[in-house]
Amino acid sequence: MEAERKTGAAAVAVGQQRQTVLWIIAVLLAIIATALIMRATEPLVVQRAYGDIPMAGARGVFAFTGQLDKNHYGLFMMDVDSGNIWCYEYLPSTRKLKLVAARSFMYDRYLEDYACEEPTIEMVKCMLDDQRRIQERINGGVIAPDEDEEALDTNTPGFPP
């Protein structure tokens, strides 16, 4: 009879240890989840991906990284105050940056239509006017939306619809 009591007591102790370990694991998981949630600086719905590095900058100078081509990466910098943008290529063999390109965009913002293919500004303006006119006719009760109504063609030539 004494042997039975010792066996039963040992089984109860093992069950309590297992339950304690499970509670410790649950508490640790809750702490980790809280730390992950509290680390987010933005609302939970709109979180950035871990690889998405935002632009950093101060006093009108902004820097961001990007891929130049298949195997080359660079650092892009933009000075908003002076209207300049420039790019450095990272050379892993020398662990240095090499200036690849620089340009002033101060006067570029005044261009309206430079080296642009279709659709031209005039084509877009006509499409928008047609769209507005059709929408006004539908909303004004002059006509009901109809399958026979000629649809506005907004497809860009050379691109799939």
Say if residue 93 is in the same domain as residue 135: no
- Distance, in Å, from the CA atom of 58 to the CA atom of 143, rounded to the nearest integer, reads 55
For a pLDDT cut of 90, what percent of the chain falls above it?
19
Q: Is residue 64 part of a domain?
A: yes
**For the segment 11-57, what is each residue's pLDDT rounded down to a tens digit?**
445 566 778 888 899 999 998 888 877 765 555 555 555 555 665 65
Full strand arrangement of the beta sheet holding 72-79? 56-58, 61-69, 72-79, 84-91, 96-104
Query: 1: which 2 tokens?
Result: 């009879």
Q: Is the pLDDT of residue 158 over 60?
A: no
Residue-wise pLDDT for 141-154, tens only, equals: 655 555 545 555 55
> Worst-scoring range by mean pLDDT, 29-43, 84-98, 120-134?
29-43
Amino acid at 66: G
Could you tell me the residue range of the domain that residue 65 belongs to?
Answer: 56-110
Looking at the structure of the chain, the number of domains it has is 3
Assess if residue 84 is contained within a domain: yes
118 — pLDDT class (breaks 50, 70, 90)? confident
Same domain for 60 and 106?
Answer: yes
Per the CB < 8 A criterion, the answer to whether 75 and 87 are in contact is yes
Q: Which of 110, 137, 152 is the last residue of a domain?
A: 110
117 has a pLDDT exceeding 70? yes
| 122 and 102 in a common domain | no
Confidence of residue 139 (pLDDT cuts 50, 70, 90): confident
